[in-house]
Each structure stands twice: as C-alpha cells, then as structure tokens.
Amino acid sequence: MDKRIERAYDIIKRQYLEKLQLKRIAFLVGVSPYHFQRLFTKEMGESPAECLKRIRLERAVHLMVLDPGISISSLAGACGYGSLAVFSRAFSNRYGRSPQAYLQGIQFHHLPQERLPFAVDVVQCNTRHVLYVHTNMYWEKLEKDFEKAEALAKRKKITTLGSRLGVITHIAFHGSKRNLNYYAGVEILASSMKGWEELCYTIPGGMYASFIVSAPHTELLSILMRFKNHWLDHSPYRISEIFSFEKWEDDGSRRVFIPVKRKSRPAPSPSLRSREGAGG
C-alpha cells in the first residue's frame, strides 16, 4: 500500500469520532485533496468518506455486542453521529436493518463462569504516551516492529521510558482478524510528543482490568474472549472503551490492560423512592 494512504488510513482509524475533513487529512499526508481522494479510493476500494462511515458503523455493531442494553441514541453519539436520524439511515443502508432490529437480532449467550488460568485485578493506571509502528498482531515477526519503534525514537531523539507497549485499537469480539489494528510501540515522556503527535498514541488514565499472560501473542484474541465470557460478564464492570494495551516483559509474558467502568445500577422505582424518602 502507498505509505501516504497507509498513514491516512491510520489517521482515520485513530480519529474517527472527530469531524475529519478531507483537506486536513490530505495536508497531513502531503498530497493535494484531489489527488488524495483519487489515490485513497484506488488503494482502499472506497472513498475517505466511505471509509470513515464504515469504521463508525463497525464500532456501532461492536458496542451492541459489548453492551446489549445500550440505547440507540447513546449508540449514535458513541459512534460520532450528532443526528440519530442520520445514524439510523447510514446503519440501515449498510446492514439492511435498522439499529433497533439489528440489536434485537443479536443472540447473547452468557456462558457459565469458569476458573481462568490467570488472576484478574482492577487497577488505576496513569496516562501513558506511545511512539508506535502500525502493524498486525498476527504477524509472526511482531517483535521487529517494536524494534522499529525503538529505532524511530532514537532517530528522532525522543526520550523513552523503556517499556514496550502494544495497543489494540479495536478489541475484536466480532468480525475478522484483519480489522484488529495493533500499534507496536515504546513508552515515551509526554514532553517528547511535541511535534510528533501523529506518530504517537495516548493511552488515557483510568480504571483497567488487568491480568498477566504468557501465551503467544497470536492467541490474545481467544484470551480476550475467555476474559469477557468468564470474568467480565459476571463482574460488576463493563468495558468503557474499545481498545486495550499490553506491556511486554523481558521474560516474554505480557500484562494486559482493558479499560472498564462499573455497571450502572437501575434507578429505584418511584414508589421505592417515596418509601425511602418517607423513612426520614
């Protein structure tokens, strides 16, 4: 793939919730808007606007799987749509059904809880910054991309903190492996990002479910599925963002971090609230 289009695709995947303009993306990759539109469509088989719409709607289906109780209005907002009508029309055109009908048609099977081969802890993480190389986590020589990120940091004289961090920008509980984007990178100081923001990914601070695995990185998807089915679905937590990251250790193991938040409790009924209030 043309490196300029590869970078443009990466920008769209990272910033798909924002109001992206063709002119801005074309400027960032160094081509004219007209040439960028033609080149992107030729390389990707879809226009930049179609690509952005596809990524947003794939996020919608993903959120339906993760949170079957989500409202359609919340779903639209979480996918970058300011208008519920526009979202519903775009969704129906792509999937042949309205968001409501699609959600109702998904079959959710909560499996019995089983003992996992690893312990899950819920921890608070600070914000981290990663200088990365965009790759695919199923590549056998993934370590080479971490080395490329480290070499890039050295070449750009960017201060690193030593940790190798891999970021999965879409946790694929559904869909094909080709949609599982992976950033192989090295942790850097926040001050080192200035001027290189387009090459960096910021991992937000917050609450994460975390566990250590030593299985090959190619098995991470099945591990995440087991985590969801046998821990997350039975816990008081739900996934808060569609990404995760892992810290690679010297012994080959990785500590995986998945952003979570507490499930909201249903509001008490009016009659219950009145009884509680009457109790003084």
The CATH number for 179's domain is: 3.20.80.10
- pLDDT, residue 269, reads 41
User: Is the same domain home to 92 and 164?
Assistant: no
Q: How many residues does the chain have?
A: 280
CATH number, domain of 64, equals: 1.10.10.60
The total number of structural domains in the chain stands at 2
The rounded distance, in Å, linking the Cα atoms of 194 and 200 is: 10
Last residue of a domain, one of 61, 80, 105: 105
3-state secondary structure at position 161: strand
Q: How many Cβ atoms from other residues are within 10 Å of residue 39's Cβ?
A: 18
User: Is the same domain home to 129 and 247?
Assistant: yes
pLDDT over threshold 60, residue 201: yes
pLDDT over threshold 60, residue 177: no
What range does the domain containing 25 cover?
A: 3-105
pTM over 0.85: no
User: Is the same domain home to 34 and 150?
Assistant: no
Using pLDDT thresholds of 50, 70 and 90, give the confidence band for residue 110: low
Q: Residue 270: inside a domain, yes or no? A: no
* pLDDT tens digit sequence for 28-49: 899 999 999 999 999 999 999 9
Q: Which strand (E) or helix (H) includes residue 242?
A: none
Using pLDDT thresholds of 50, 70 and 90, give the confidence band for residue 51: very high
- pLDDT, residue 111, reads 56
Using pLDDT thresholds of 50, 70 and 90, give the confidence band for residue 273: very low
Using pLDDT thresholds of 50, 70 and 90, give the confidence band for residue 204: very high
- pLDDT, residue 265, reads 60
